[in-house]
Chains A and B, each alone.
Chain A
Amino acid sequence: MSQVQTQGPTAATRRIDALAAVMRYSTLGALVALLIFNVLFTRHFLAMQTLDVNLTQVAAIVIVGVGMTLVIATGGIDLSVGSLMAISGAIAPIIFLNKVFNIGEIHLAVAVAMIVAVLLAGAFGWFNGWLITRFRIQPIIATLVLFIAGRGIAQVMTNGNLQPFKLDAFQWIGLGRLFAITDVYRGLPIQVAIMIVLVVVAAWVLKRSLFGRQILAIGGNERAARLSGVPVAQVKRWVYCISGLCAGVAGLVVIAINSSSDANQVGLGMELDAIAAVAVGGTLLSGGRATITGTLIGALIIQLVRYTMLANGVPDDVAKLAKAALIVAAVWLQGQGRA
């Protein structure tokens, strides 16, 4: 081992690392600070109810944010996720309400509805990836196509009608609970469980799998990745497909909570919420460095800031300003880290 000499990092790189560390822990620190603030100043904050509300509201953003993190890790962006949620949310009731063909057994109908909805969103995601890799269209433009057209497709599928429903077998995904303890704990909302599973799996894939490595290599230096034999087009298509699948799941969660599907409303503005969570979480927006847990923390921070303000009587419009300020701060920190 005599040849492996230590080359001390230069002052400049040490500064960058210090900043990167600040960035990494500043998001976590911000979350902790927010929690402490709320414990001290927000009434009833330590109630189970509060945790429930916040986790439930953040779940859809995190589910979409997981796919978005992978997309951004390759140096891309996916604007279509909100519209894909609308498509998924539109097709599922059509199937389980037996509008097209009659599936007698309701559980089977729900299962078919969920699978078809999620796969359809995934297929549209694949289409995004195909546009981007086949025609070398910039991701922001390519996914703008479905951002615009996707909601239109959802409206055509539903003739622009609201689809109300009351179906426990389906709404389980938005309202159901796991591990309930009588009189003590109402149980973990299913959507939160889905969120946790997705976060854990995606974080592990990004860190340990060949696919994760390839994603980060493409985002870090696409030309070098291609010259090293990384199947760039194939990886990108999968990443956009996964983003679509995540949006599909989130779409189901949202309509289940609402007991209705409105193609005009489902997933509206979701792309920006998801991108904000990714940015605040510390993923490099230019690609090559990504953190799934960061995205989770980022989404929690945004949610908690909004909750804190609402709980303390600040109007929602002002809360939006705070969200914007958070994003600016996160992006500024990133710029510092790379300077």
Chain B
Amino acid sequence: MNIEFRNINKSFGPVRANIDLNFSIKSGTIYGILGENGAGKSTLMKILSGFYKPDSGQILLNGKPVIIESPADAIKYGIGMLHQDPLDFPPMRIIENFIVGQKGGLIPSYKETIHEFKELQTKFGFTLDPEAYVDTLTVGERQQLEILRLLWMGANALILDEPTTGISAQQKEKLFAALRILAEQGKTIIFVSHKLEDVEILCGKVAILRKGILVGELPAPYQTDKLVEMMFGKVITLGDRNNVSQSNIVFELKNIFVEQYPMRIENVNFRLQAGEVIGLAGMEGSGQDVLLRACVGLIRPISGSVIVIGKDLTGKNYHEFMKNGVSFLPASRLEEGLVPGLTLAEHFTIAGEETKGLFIDKEYFKQKAEKMIDEYHIIGHQSSTVESLSGGNQQRAALSLLRNSLSIILLEHPTRGLDIESAIYMWGKLKERCMLGTSIFFISGDLEEILQYSDRILVFFSGHVSPPLDAVTTSLDQLGQLIGGKGWDQVFDIQENYESNAKS
């Protein structure tokens, strides 16, 4: 199916998400849409898949203008979208997920559908068990299910939104192979990503968006520098890596065994030095979030001990860790980070370390909030509620609320959903703290971020944790293989050396 965008415009309040977008996509191709977070990629794709109506402009399918009213309407036109968070039903079985939404009689025929499902999946080399429950699948497998489902529903064009986040290297290869088969069959594949390497190896042509504008289209082969320049509008220099770690140990895990059904992580030993940055790499759900939460007392380890600055805090709850200078910034900012409905000033009142009497000195905290808003360049007012701030500003606010003297900050996906400037700012602020001796322990799905900012890296693969790797001597490729479960033999070698070094 040929798809053409003509003068697409879309605004959300004062924000112009898509500005006069014009380009077309030929059938039988894999077409990349590249841009950083907030560039307008998702908005455009949601227009194409029927979630949004454009303010103005037209979409033409095979030369005919169409109006797409809803996602269900889009699939009637043959357009299917694979969302970043798979839109499936975790407590239901694969085959039930497959059937929901399919037209047909009152009682679906499971036998027949299972047969068709198996036939379809062998074409792509997928090996899903139709009777399995979706909540036991990895993100990659859930993607496979969605692709099969969309094809079965009659999709001629597939939109994939950031599909390589959180899946393993093998799953990525499988996915790319499947997409190539589909393109050969004449289907149109739209691949939305901010990852240059994926776009470079997969896409025949790429459109680059920046701040809602189409910067340009390029055919393969690509020059990486050119892509980067078009994406960011300038050459971005990331902060230098500067290892400021000191020799004293601030945090130690001894023989930790954590379990969060069905995930088990066993036998983790690890020491964190003051001022050090440790990145936790792995595909989503490999156990890194479980271990991080065990490190701050949100999950109780089954055995082993957690030691913060020489103090054994095993089995204590998060507040005890807080008292000992540990702070945790979770990924879901408005669910676990900030309190929606409360203003910035109220947040500073709650989080402040000042000795508090019975009554609130409202004037004092207003001024404090204004000062911090200034210092952290938060776009907002002391009386703004936190949910009215943009994602980047929420993250800045969360950062500004951290206490001054902390020994460890643990973060989940610190820059997820932030534009590049906010992300760089965020790390600048974190590094300032490292200089003062604070250690950082963070999870990220972005391997480049991990390599860029960590001193050492822990790799996770389905509950296994590698010994720490030196970030300087680890390559992106190697890291990619490790999170996919490849090349662990070498790492285990390292571990033996590590242990024998520790003994001697």
Q: State whether these chains interact.
A: no
